[in-house]
């Protein structure tokens, strides 16, 4: 079963919003965590965790459960934003 289009759009908009917020807070993040080796991983994990919660909630609203394949597709969907987050910290 593929992820419904409305869920994909909703989750992707959420991820894009979180990325734009990261860009806004970037000066603070770099000053607050100067000794962290890989802030990009932390930010990516935070954004993905937030999006995962939203993803599951979208299924709950439809009274459905995501399948293992849906979770795999979610991982692929969120992974395409990884490089964009990495660029903030280079």
Instruction: Give tens-digit pLDDT for 70-86.
Output: 999 999 999 999 999 99
Residue 81, sorted as left (phi over 0), alpha (psi -120 to 50) or beta, turns out to be: alpha
Report the pLDDT value the prediction gives residue 35, as an integer from 0 to 100.
Answer: 83
In 3D space, the residue among 54, 59, 47 whose CA is nearest the CA of residue 1 turns out to be: 59
Mean pLDDT computed over every residue of the chain: 92
Report the pLDDT value the prediction gives residue 58, as an integer from 0 to 100.
Answer: 94
Residues in Cβ contact with 44 at an 8 Å cutoff, skipping those fewer than 6 apart: 81, 82, 85, 86
Global confidence as pTM: 0.85
Report the pLDDT value the prediction gives residue 90, as an integer from 0 to 100.
Answer: 84
């Amino acid at each position: 079963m593929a992820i419904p289009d409305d869920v994909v759009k909703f989750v992707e908009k959420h991820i894009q919003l979180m990325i734009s917020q990261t860009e806004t807070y970037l000066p603070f993040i770099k000053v607050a965590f100067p000794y962290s080796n890989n802030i990009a991983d932390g930010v990516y994990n935070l954004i993905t965790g937030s999006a995962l919660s939203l993803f599951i909630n979208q299924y709950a609203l439809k009274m459905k459960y995501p399948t293992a394949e849906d979770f795999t597709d979610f991982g692929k969907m969120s992974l395409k934003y990884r490089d964009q987050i990495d660029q903030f910290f280079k």
